[in-house]
Amino acid sequence: MSVAADLQPVRQDETLERQVLGGAIALDLAGAYSERLRPEDFADPRHGAIWSAAVSASSAGRVSIPAVVSALRASRRINAVGGQGYVSSLLPYAATCAEDFESAVREFAGGAMARRLRVAALRVASRSADDGVSADELGPWALAEIGAATSRADSADAVGIDRVIDEHWTEHERVRRLGTVQGVTTGLASLDGAISRLRPAQLVLVAARPGGAKTSLAVHAAHAVAAGGGRALVWSLEMPRRDLGRRLLCSEARVSITATINNSVTEDESRRLVAASQRLGALRSRLAFFDDEATFEDIEAGTLREHQRDPVSLVVIDHLQHVSWSRHTRDERQHLGRVAKGAKKLAKKIDAPVLLLSQLARKVEERDNKRPMLSDLFGSGEIEAAADVVLGIYRDEYYDPHSADRGIAEVLVLKQRDGPTGAVRARFEREFTRFCDLDADEWTNEGSEGA
């Protein structure tokens, strides 16, 4: 028997195809995975058409059975796929969570690539049996066939330096014309000056000991972005959203959190809380919270889904040590490094900054000078490498209640790819969990240029 006769095309698992399509519709994930899966990856042409319709529906809004059916009608393929009844029949196959959907996608993508490879091998075997084809011609052609079969849907061609420079000047001209500075604010003018704001595609790590005010700084930044007209998402894996909401409300109203919890606010404080509630309520979906337990795949898929609906300006993940991954590893350093790298890739995908919060190692407590250093990061090597900017928060009153620097937080720029290291002093009103600038001249350049 010939090699070509022995290589029969692989048929994709029909059930797996239905799981992917059902999950994409039920979980509204078609847009988030549109670059990873291609219509031609589906062995059943009906399923390829439904996938295209689901991606189209995602770009227009939320994915649902009616939306997919509408997209199929618009492309005149509704009858070819079996009508609305067949599309609806995919839902029982759907995964119940993003993690299970991710697993199904990985298995599906592997099967699709194996099928493409088998088809490519058939073509190579058939052409290699042709005596009229020279070895010089056959080799490059065969490599190209195999390469095309194994290439990812989201693989990109190399971009020449001329185009890269053109992109720089296009962005420069846009910023000049609008009279704005690239990126979004941290909510502190002094910190904005130190790190040149939070810029697109950046991973910014904010590290402190538990209770060190890293969450307060991140939520302060998210609120500032939303108040400025941007859109911020906060993934709170440690603190319930109601607690974050209460913190933000008390910060905005300058009312003690303890007083709100104990229901001991004064009449004036109550009026301030109502006014602050109205101001925050006006932000609506520009500041949104997730507080369910989530893997990194859930965070990525949810963020991409939200970004597809309405562009996101800032993402906060609180915090690194609480992010799990569907692919478990016993090595904690490797796991944390994987999450940090994933957060950096997510920032690039949405072209917006990601604030990733992290605990500092306990060893910082053993030094006389307890200001954070890069080596204090858990799994510091890979995390430090992934981050564009690393900020450490130090409050002297955290260690000495009678400190002369009570109410002062130092935000240390421990790493910055495009600028110097140094320190910014800001006011931190602990009873309100509120950050504010001390003075525009508080920035001190104490370090070296970033690399």
303-324 pLDDT, tens digit per residue, is 888 887 889 999 999 988 888 7
Higher pLDDT, 379 or 232: 232
Q: Angle, nearest 10°, between helix axes 14-26 and 45-60?
A: 10
Residue 327's pLDDT is 57
In this predicted structure, the answer to whether residue 8 has a pLDDT above a threshold of 60 is: no
In this predicted structure, the answer to whether residue 413 has a pLDDT above a threshold of 50 is: yes
Q: Which region among 24-28, 160-164, 246-250, 398-402 has the lowest average model confidence (pLDDT)?
A: 160-164
Is-contact 152 36, C-beta < 8 A? yes
pLDDT digits (tens, 9 = 90+) for 31-47: 888 878 888 889 889 99
Kindly state the percentage of the chain with pLDDT values over 70. 88
Mean pLDDT of 136-141: 74
Residue 153's pLDDT is 47
Is-contact 24 90, C-beta < 8 A? no
Q: Residue 382's pLDDT band (boundaries 50, 70, 90)? A: confident
In this predicted structure, the answer to whether residue 26 has a pLDDT above a threshold of 60 is: yes
pLDDT digits (tens, 9 = 90+) for 59-115: 777 889 999 999 999 999 999 999 999 999 999 998 888 778 888 888 888 888 887
Higher pLDDT, 113 or 287: 287
Mean pLDDT of 9-34: 83
Residue 160's pLDDT is 78
- Domains of the chain (ranges; CATH) run 3-150 (1.10.860.10), 182-437 (3.40.50.300)
In this predicted structure, the answer to whether residue 423 has a pLDDT above a threshold of 70 is: yes
Which long-range contacts link 253-262 to residues 24+ away (Cβ below 8 Å)? 254/429, 254/432, 254/434, 255/432, 256/431, 256/432, 257/431, 257/432, 257/433, 258/431
Mean pLDDT of 148-162: 63
pTM confidence score: 0.73
Mean pLDDT of the chain: 84
In this predicted structure, the answer to whether residue 15 has a pLDDT above a threshold of 50 is: yes
Amino acid at 251: S
Residue 347's pLDDT is 94
Residue 157's pLDDT is 59
Residue 220's pLDDT is 95
In this predicted structure, the answer to whether residue 5 has a pLDDT above a threshold of 50 is: no
* Structure tokens that stand for 108 in this block: 């599906």
Residue 1's pLDDT is 41
Residue 440's pLDDT is 44
- Vertex 110: Cα angle to 108 and 114 (nearest 5): 115
